[in-house]
Amino acid sequence: MIEHPSHRLSELLALRHPPVALTFVDQKPADLAAVTVAAPSACTFWRRAETETFYAAAHDHFNCPIGSLVMGFDLPATVTDELGGLVQSMCDAQYLELSEAAAIPHLATPSAGIVYGPLAQATTAPDLVLAWVDLAHAMLFNEASGTARWTATSADVTGRPGCAALPRAVATNSPSMSFGCIGMRTFTDIDDDLSLVAIPGGELEAFLEALEQTARANASMRTLYEAHREDVVG
């Protein structure tokens, strides 16, 4: 039996939390329940999606103006005003420079909303797969992504806002990583030692193959290094 990509990803990256799938849609799927509980942020939906599949419309994200911007939603005037006030507060706190605001990554194509759910329940390739990785497996993720090669153009690891990793992954059609942001860590209650990774759904199989090869290579190198340590220190 062919192993589901969710299981392969979880095993290879030793995930503590199930990977989740995001699909951007133009309308709510008829057979899918819409979210009914208010969320303080866009990233709040990621944790809920670990256990259930649901639809969240653009307006369900508007409690987080930054996340709504990053997700590429068309923003009403009220949310745009809130966004401006939030950016100003960030600048006042010396958290963000005003010149950075216009450069925050965002999805270029607006959608009506997002279908969220466990990757294990996805029956078709999603637009994005999100997962949380610890430092050791962030190393494997980095190597499998190809950005650890000295001959490659290294991709930056994103930071604030944490959700910026999503449009970066879409824009480059390649895996992206984020250290996160204080908002993401507040709203998701994710462990402090975990970082966010985003993988384009269409590239998931190729990435898994690269990740499997990376894991084998690291296992070989571990054996070599352990033998060397034994030779040197006994």
Contact 197/184 with Cβ under 8 angstroms? no
How many other CB atoms sit within 10 Å of the CB of residue 216?
Answer: 10
Q: Hey, where are the domains in the chain? A: 5-233
Please determine, for residue 150, whether its predicted confidence score (pLDDT) is greater than 80.
no
Binned at pLDDT 50, 70 and 90, residue 234 comes out as confident
Contact 57/68 with Cβ under 8 angstroms? no
Instruction: Report the C-alpha gap between 40 and 63 in whole angstroms.
Output: 5
Contact 214/145 with Cβ under 8 angstroms? no
Average pLDDT score over the chain = 92
14-31 exposure pattern, b = at least 16 Cβ within 10 A, e = fewer: ebebbbbbbbbeeeeeee
Q: For residues 12-37, give the mean pLDDT.
A: 95
The three-class DSSP label of residue 89 is helix
Q: What is the pTM of this model?
A: 0.92
Of 158, 131, 135, 155, residue with least CA distance to 145 = 155
The phi and psi torsions of 133 (rounded to 5 degrees) equal -125, 145
Q: Which residue has the tokens 């923003």?
A: 75
| DSSP string for residues in 110-142 | --SEEEEEEGGG-SS--SEEEEEE-HHHHHHHH
For 90-140, what is each residue's pLDDT tens digit? 999 988 888 888 888 999 999 999 999 999 999 889 999 999 999 999 999
SS3 content of the chain, % helix, strand, coil (to 5): 45, 15, 40
For 67-95, what is each residue's pLDDT tens digit? 999 999 999 999 999 989 998 999 999 88
First CA to last CA across the chain, in angstroms?
A: 44
pLDDT of residue 99: 87
